[in-house]
Amino acid sequence: MKDIHILLVEDNEGDIVLTKEALSDAKIKNKVSVAKDGEEAIRFVNAGLDDEDILPDLILLDINLPKVDGKEVLHYLKNNPLLKKIPVVMLTTSSSELDVVDSYNNYANCFITKPVDFNKFFEVVRMIEDFWITIVKLPTKD
């Protein structure tokens, strides 16, 4: 099976490390690319339109981002016909109801509040992996 390519859009170094650590325990081999703000994320996926090897299979998107925030990135992705099929899991420390509603209205595939507890965080990441990588049949890139 081919390696899964995951784009993690996150500005917090700690979370990047933790997420990577959690994914490293995953059953399926994966490749994690990191974009540290919204602009970088959009540049990354646009580049992937030309080279489909770069185009991620799953995007983990934090809401609070410098410059262009997570909601704007989501809006951009879901309004692009070529990009809107990529599943986007919103990850945030916020549990604001408004954020949740806004995200789903913009076609987010899933909204997950980052658990503060370390063990729970690991569990969440593993569940994401299980669900989106193992269980769900994603459309092929072609």
Partner 1 sequence: MNRFSVSDKLLKSLNCFFILLDDGLKVKTANSKYSHIASLAFQPGTLFTNYFSEKYQEKLALAFASAQKEIDCVTVVTAPIELEKDIITIKWSVCCIRDEDETLQGMELLGIQSKLSPKESESDGESPKSLFENTSQPFFSFDLSGNLTNANKAFADLLSYTCEDLAGTSLLSYAIDTDVPALKSLAADALAGKSLEYKFGLLDKKGRKVAVKIVNTPRIENGTFVGVNAYVKKPSVKVQTEKPFSRDERRLNLILGRLKKILDSSLDMICAIDENGKFTYVSAACKEILGFSAKEFIGKSFLDYVHEEDAESSTSASINIKNGIGTTNFENRFYRKDGSIAHLVWSSKWEETDKRFYSIARDATEKKLSEANLIASEEKYKILFYHHSVPIYIYDTESLMFLEVNDAAIRQYGYTRDEFLTMNFKDILADEETDRDSDSLAQEDFPEQLPKELWIHKKKNGESFYAEISSNRIEYLGKQAKLVLSIDRTEQTIAEQELRKSNERITFLSQATFDAIWDWDLQTNKITWNEGVSKMFDLADPAEATKFNWWSSNLHPEDKERVEQKISYHLENLIPRWEDEYRMRAGNTYKYINDRGYIIFNEQNKPVRMIGAMQDLTERKSHEIMLQNLNNSLEKRATELAESNTELERFAYVASHDLQEPLRMVSSFLQLLEKRYKDKLDNKAHEYINYAVDGAERMKRLILDLLEYSRVNSSKAEVEEVDLNEVLNDLMVTYKNLLHETNGTIKAQTLPVIKGNKTQILQLFQNLVGNACKYRKNETPPVIDISYEEEQSFYKFAISDNGIGIDPRFFHKIFIIFQRLHNRDEYSGTGIGLAICKKIVDKHGGKIWVASTMGEGSTFYFTLPKSK
Which residues of this protein are in contact with partner 1, per CB under 8 A? Answer: 12, 14, 18, 21, 93-94, 114, 116-119, 121
Query: Cα–Cα distance between 6 and 13 in angstroms, integer?
Result: 17
Min separation Cβ 77 and partner 1, Å: 25
Cβ 53 to partner 1, closest distance in Å? 31
* Min separation Cβ 125 and partner 1, Å: 12
> What Rg do the C-alpha atoms of the chain give, in angstroms?
14
Closer residue to partner 1 in complex, CB, 44/121: 121
The nearer residue to partner 1, 79 or 95, going by C-beta atoms, is 95
- Classify 73 as helix, strand or coil: helix
Judged by CB, which is closer to partner 1: 10, or 57? 10
In angstroms, give the least distance from the CB of 118 to partner 1: 3
Q: Determine the Cα–Cα distance for residues 7 and 70; give it in Å rounded to an integer.
A: 13
- Give the torsion sign (CA, 138, 99, 97, 115): positive
Whole-number Å distance between alpha carbons of 47 and 66: 21
